[in-house]
Every structure is written in structure tokens, then in C-alpha cells.
Amino acid sequence: MKFDPIYMITVVLPQLIAVLPLTLLLTITSSVIGNSLAVPVALARLNPNPLLWIPARAFIFTMRGTPFLIQLFFIYYGLGELIPGWMMRGYPFLKNGLYYAIFALSLNTAGYTGEILRGAILAVPHGEIEAARAFGMSRAQVFWRITLPRAVRICLPTMSSETILLLKVTSVASLVTVYEVMGTATSIRVDTYRVYDTLIGAGIVYFVTVFVLTRGLNWVERKLNKDRLAIPTSDKPAQAQA
């Protein structure tokens, strides 16, 4: 069927915009949970104890080495086989694919961000840690007040990119009955047989959302790293000395 921009603007886009909050809910919730889980994952990865770093490394390798679609299907269908029927009947939310999608997205984010955070922790200048210890801070205080905030600022650009990728990956949740933007677009396409209208409409919604989110994350990055921005200096003194 031919592309009809009027139909896309008047019919498709309003329906996709209406479910955009669900896509944002998936993104924000999974990002918060996943980034929170990334902290213990990174610490376990840095710990010299094999009982900690081996499972952490295996978890990171699994999350980064397998497609997210496999992880989502494994959690959605695999946990469904393990959960008893009485629990399914007693807790209706266990039948909702939204929670499985958030769980899968959070674990995937924890795997990626955990490795990113590990590298950022190692990149924290040792002098800052020594200065904190000179003030009498304990190891826990040094980590929570100096190391972790500094590491987050170091890896913030990479974490922002991961958040953008997470937003786009939420489209896969449509395969487990979560009718966010892509799921709704697919439903409209199946009902109306309009391929271009729905796909282009979904692409526009994702493009605008990613643009706005990118600008917001860039603002946060500049706000937190304003002391690291290069201060322009005049080269006139150098020319005078020459």
C-alpha cells in the first residue's frame, strides 16, 4: 500500500505518541535499576577474591556476549516454566510482559554499565584518593564520596550513549506483548496492512525522543563536568615572548 502522510499524521502518530510514556517508563526504570546493579557488579569485578570476580566477569560476559533478544526470551519464557501455576494465579503481574521486559533490560544494562564503571573506577586519579585518606576518611567514605562520583563523571558520556541505546532496545519488548511505540506500530500495521505509514511514524517518534533525550543528557554532562571544560586562553603573551 502506498505511503499516505495525512493518514500517518492524523491516525498513526497520535496513537504512537499516546504510548510513548510506556517506552519512557521502560527506559527510565530499566536505566535506574540497571545502573544501580552495575555498582556491585563493578566492585565484584575489581575484587581480588575469585568467588566475587569470577561470577561478576561471567555475568558481564554473558550480558555482553549474547543478543538481548535471547536474554528476553529466556527470561520471559524460561521463568514462566519455572514459576508454579498457583503463584501465577495469585500474582497477576507475573503474567504481564512489562515486568519481564524491565527485568531483562535491567540485567542487560547492569552487564554493560558494570564493565564501563569498572574502567572508570580504575581511571580515577590516585592522588584524589590519597588526599581523601589524608583527611582521615575510611575506605567506604572514600569510595562513596570520592571514587564513585568521580568515576560516574568520567564515564558519563559512555553511560549517556548506553541510555540512548537502551531507549531504542525497548522496541524489542513488543515481542513479549508489551505495546509500547513499536508494539503499537506493529499492531496498527497488522490491522491496516499499512507498512510505510506505521514504520515511518515509529521512526519519527523514536528520532524526536532520542534527540530530546540526547540534548538533556548533554546538559547533565556539561553541568556535572563544568570544572573540566577547557578554559580558552589568549595566545598574545606567547606571541609577545616570541
Helix boundaries (H) for the chain: 5-7, 13-18, 20-46, 50-65, 68-82, 85-90, 97-123, 126-134, 139-142, 148-169, 181-192, 195-224, 236-241
Q: Return the pLDDT at 162.
A: 92
Coil, strand or helix at 71: helix
Question: How many residues are listed for the chain in this entry?
Answer: 242
The three three-digit cell numbers of residue 11, written as one number = 491516525
Query: What pLDDT score was predicted for residue 168?
Result: 93
Give the residues of the chain that fall short of pLDDT 50: 233-242
| Cβ pair 103, 71 in contact under 8 A | no
pLDDT for 213: 93
Give the per-residue pLDDT at 108: 95
Cα–Cα distance for residue pair 99/115, rounded to 1 Å: 25
DSSP structure class, residue 229: S
pLDDT of 177 reads 85
What pLDDT, on the 0 to 100 scale, is given for residue 33?
96
Please give the CATH topology (third level) of the domain spanning 24-169: MetI-like fold (1.10.3720)
pLDDT of residue 136: 87
Q: Residue 24: how many CB atoms within 10 A of its CB?
A: 16
